[in-house]
Amino acid sequence: MKIIKFKTKDDSNQLAAVKEDGSIYPLPYEDFLHIIEEAEKHAETCLSIVKKAIEDAKPIQQKPADLQLMLPLDAYEVWASGVTYLKSKNARNYEAYEGKEEVSDSYYDKVYDAERPEIFLKSTGRRTIGPDKPVYLRNDSDWQIPEPELGLVLNKHGRVVGYTVGNDMSSRDIEGENPLYLPQAKIWKHSCSFGPAIRLAETVENPYDLTITCKISRGGEKIFEESASTSQLKRKYEELVEYLKRDNELFDGTVLFTGTCIIPANDFTLADGDLIEITIPEVGTLSNPVEKLVIQDKTAIL
């Protein structure tokens, strides 16, 4: 079962549950955050809360494809994990070490093999967007890509309550210039998106057997497409969450991206007008157009 949020005809927000057959049932909550809070209040699972809420409800007539989908969760914070896949480690080496993927004892080799994973703050609520909203390109970077990832939706205790599709936009040239530039390579306006739904954790049989596909189109033509599996992840989700929790306060609805296993060729960079589509079949397709961030008097303008 999945949770979505969509815009109604009267311009209000409606949270809904989507069953396996595609039928959609309205929920009496404004945001998925409230389902998490309700589950904690009654010591139940989110799935149990949702099942009770739609027990006597009637499905709406629209199909998911007909709805204007929104960010399904107003997450206070989005965190991300780095160098959790071998392909990611090799790409980071290429950026930082003059085109070499294999480097003896590099920063990224150390992170890949270390006990402690790389975890960093990716975004805040006001910087995060949902499906069909534009992700922006940095003006001071010439090498930018999407990073398709599985996102874990957590409660304040660190329990995984759902899964979503994440796009961790990245400036490869900025990070490659110096690893201390990571925040600038990762955080800017509209550099983070997730959605289009949240798949309830109890309904995912094996989260280490999910296929992620990323397709990028330019001028209506496909210019990149690649798939990979979460089975290639070096670390366990519990391990990533445990380190995120250490001496840290988690909030209900915190999202943790688990790293990317899909990276376009080294000569590829996103361009204004591109379309990014990231699919995890169990969750859906997160689609975001790409736009150049317009700067006027050093102020970001939508």
Residues 66, 101 within the same domain:
no
Is the same domain home to 192 and 140? yes
* Model confidence band, residue 298 (pLDDT cutoffs 50, 70, 90): low
pLDDT higher than 80, residue 301: no
Is the separation of the CB atoms in 285 and 129 below 8 Å?
Answer: no
Instruction: Locate 282 and state its tokens.
Output: 């169990």
End-of-domain residue from the set 12, 44, 70: 70
Mean pLDDT of 182-186: 96
Same domain for 224 and 120? yes
Q: Is the pLDDT reported for residue 297 higher than 70? A: no
Considering the chain, what is the average pLDDT of its residues? Answer: 93
pLDDT tens per residue, range 109-130: 889 999 999 999 999 999 999 9
SS3 state at 187 = coil
**What is the percentage of the chain residues whose pLDDT exceeds 90?**
84
Question: SS3 breakdown of the chain: % helix, strand, coil, rounded to 5?
Answer: 25, 35, 40
258 HSE (CA, 13 A, CB side): 29
Confidence of residue 211 (pLDDT cuts 50, 70, 90): very high
Would you state the pLDDT for residue 296?
67
pLDDT at 230 over 90: yes
Q: Give residue 299's pLDDT.
A: 57
Instruction: Round to whole Å and give the CA distance between 94 and 266.
Output: 8
pLDDT band per the 50, 70, 90 thresholds, residue 100: low
Count of C-beta atoms within a 10 Å radius of residue 195: 30
Whether the predicted pLDDT of 300 surpasses 60: no
The residue among 36, 70, 104 that closes a domain is 70
Total of domains in the chain: 2
pLDDT tops 90 at residue 103: no
pLDDT, position 81: 97
Please tell me the pTM assigned to this model. 0.94
Domain boundary, last residue among 45, 70, 95? 70
Q: pLDDT for 22-70, tens place per residue?
A: 999 999 999 999 999 999 999 999 999 999 999 988 999 888 788 999 9
90 with 51, same domain? no
Alpha carbon distance 166, 178 (integer Å)? 25
pLDDT of residue 293: 87
**Within this chain, do residues 203 and 54 fall inside the same structural domain, yes or no?**
no
Asked if 120 and 257 sit in the same domain, the reply is: yes
Q: Tell me: pLDDT of 107 over 90.
A: no
- The tens digit of pLDDT for each residue in 187-207 reads 999 999 999 999 999 999 999
pLDDT tens, 130-182?
Answer: 999 999 999 999 999 999 999 999 999 999 999 999 999 999 999 999 999 99
Find the domain containing 56 and state its range.
Answer: 2-70
